[in-house]
Structures are given as structure tokens and as C-alpha cells.
Amino acid sequence: MPDWAWGVAALLATIIGTGLARRYALRRQLLDQPGGRRNHLVATPRGGGIAMLLVLLIVVTALAWLYPADAAVMGLLGVSLFLVGGIGWWDDHRPLSVGLRLGTHAVAALCVLCAGLLQGWPLWVSIAGAFAAMALINIWNFMDGIDGIAASQAVVIALLIGLCIAVPWAPFSFALAGAALGFLCWNFPKARVFMGDVGSGVLGVALAWVWSALTAQDWRSGLVLLFPLGPFLVDAGLTLAGRVLRHERWWEGHSSHSYQVLARRLQTHLPVTVGYLTVSLVGAGIAWLLCRSQVGKVSFIWLGLLAWYTALVIIWRSVRRPAAMDMVDRSKG
């Protein structure tokens, strides 16, 4: 079947699966309660991301059967999804130690490295893929704090990769986009369920896999993917760096990302999620044009990334200034 059909199937399956996961969470009282570090006002069931995990594991199994030459790599992909999703699902039920979670993430990242060696990817791509897995797992966890933001960003990036990459990764990328969109139907504009660590971790590691495969196929395409990834990388990266410099316990939950600050000030999630999505779509448009035009001058791409990230850093700083926050307050009044 066509590559996009995998996305449609994943979309429908995830919509159904998330509804079932929500019923399970309500029955087990797996609820995120409002509080100082939360950005919601009512108790909301969590762990809905288990549906995305199960759907993607089914897709990986099917792809391993359809493409036997890539069965070993698909197996490693499945193992990494299972490890990250499993530890997240466990953590959603009972908080776990940071060491156990990070250790599991590291094993999942090693799966990317091993897959790269099996596939004959350039060594630097395999190593970068492992680091990307560790980074994106935690970035998607950090940025999953308001309605729709984590899933919508994943839809944009997975769709873009699906349009640029070859099989068997194209079907998986479209399925990833479909699964994230299926969950989004339950999580936006008003969240009826949260994805939990099981969902954010799975999205992060899956995106690392498809980014690594795309970079191995054409490293310039992997490079331009940094455009749509920019909003999350800048907000998560600069906020984390600030917490480290202030000697805070950076691994603990907090509510100091720019998207969280804006959501509290505006007292609504919708415009913040739409704003981040708009920026990501602009970045995806730039990346798509660069991929389609097959720009050969790497210096041009690097200059574009420098300008893009400079603009994102300026925006990140501006929304955190007291003067900017006062303007938001006055506009509400």
C-alpha cells in the first residue's frame, strides 16, 4: 500500500487506542492533579501515549515482515521503542529514579548506534543518532507540558521526514505522524488525556530514529531538519542551560520553559501551541524548499540555520522579559 496509507491506518488505530487508554487511566485513577508545577486546572488522566507505542510496535513488526533485508534494524527500532515506552509507562504508574530512566534511555540510544553499524551508515551519523535519541527523548518530555504542543510538533517533523525519506523509513515516518495526530484528537484544543512519559519518550526516540535514517540517506536533508526542530531545541536547551547555571536540580519537574510562562500569563494553552506550531511550520517550509531545490552549498544552509536560531533565541528572550509579560497582562485586562 502507499506510504501515506500507513499514516491513515495509524491515525485511526491511535484514536481508538487512546480512548481505551483514557478509560484505563480513569479506572486506575492515573490522574495528573493541578499544582504549582502544572499548567492545567483540572485533574486529567495520563498515560494515553501507550496507544502510540502499541500502534508503532505493530507497524515495526509489519515492516520487518515486508522488508526482510531490514528486519534486524526494524527489530532494534522495536526494542528501543519498547524500552523507552515501557519505562515511561512504569513511571506514569509509579515514579522511578532518574538513574533507571536515563539508563534505559541510554540502552535505547545504543540500539540506534547498532542499527547504523548494521546498515553501513557513516560512523558519525550512527553516533549522532544515539546522541539524538538521548536528547529528543528528554526534550519531548520537557516540552510536553501544555495541550497539544508535543504531539503537534511531532506531526510536522514526521510528515516532513516521510516526504523526504526512502522505504522502509517512509512508511514508519507516516505512521509516526498518524499516531501523533490520532493522539492529538484527544489532546487538543482541550486535553481529555495526557500522553504521559510513555508517549513523550516514544515520540522523542522515534523522531531520533527517522532523523538518523534521513541523515544517513542525505546528510544535508538531516541538517535542514534542524529548522522545524528549532522551537523545541531552543526552548528546552536554553531553559535547561539556565537551570544548570543556577545550580538547580534540572532533572526535577518545573514550569519555567517559555511555553509554560506564556501559557500561565495568557491563562490558556491554545495560542501558545498554535504559535509554536506556526514557527515549526515555517521552519518545515524552509527545510522542504532546501530539500527540493537540492541546495549544494552547505555554507548557505549553515548561514540560514544561524539566522533562524538567532531569531528563535531573540524570541525566546523577549517573551521572558518582565516588560513583555506586563504587556501580556495589560492586553488581558
DSSP 246-287: TT--TTS----SHHHHHHHHHT-SHHHHHHHHHHHHHHHHHH
Confidence class for position 290, pLDDT limits 50, 70, 90:
confident
Bridge partners, residue 44, by sequence: 32
Share above pLDDT 90 across residues of the chain, in percent, rounded to a whole number: 74
Q: Which of 309, 287, 286, 306 is nearest to 238 (CA)?
A: 309
pLDDT for residue 167: 86
CA distance 74 to 1: 19
Confidence class for position 319, pLDDT limits 50, 70, 90:
confident
Model's pTM, two decimal places? Answer: 0.93
CA distance 69 to 300: 37
Average pLDDT over residues 287-312: 84
pLDDT tens for each residue of 194-241: 999 999 999 999 999 999 999 999 999 999 999 999 999 999 999 999
pLDDT for residue 40: 64
Helix axes 196-217, 98-119, angle to 10 degrees: 20
Arithmetic mean of pLDDT over the chain: 91
pLDDT for residue 37: 61
Share above pLDDT 70 across residues of the chain, in percent, rounded to a whole number: 93
pLDDT tens for each residue of 124-180: 999 999 999 999 999 999 999 899 999 999 999 999 999 999 889 999 999 999 999
Please report, for the chain, the start and end positions of each structural domain, with discontinuous segments joined by +. Answer: 3-332
pLDDT tens for each residue of 225-283: 999 999 999 999 999 998 888 888 777 767 789 998 898 888 899 999 999 999 999 99
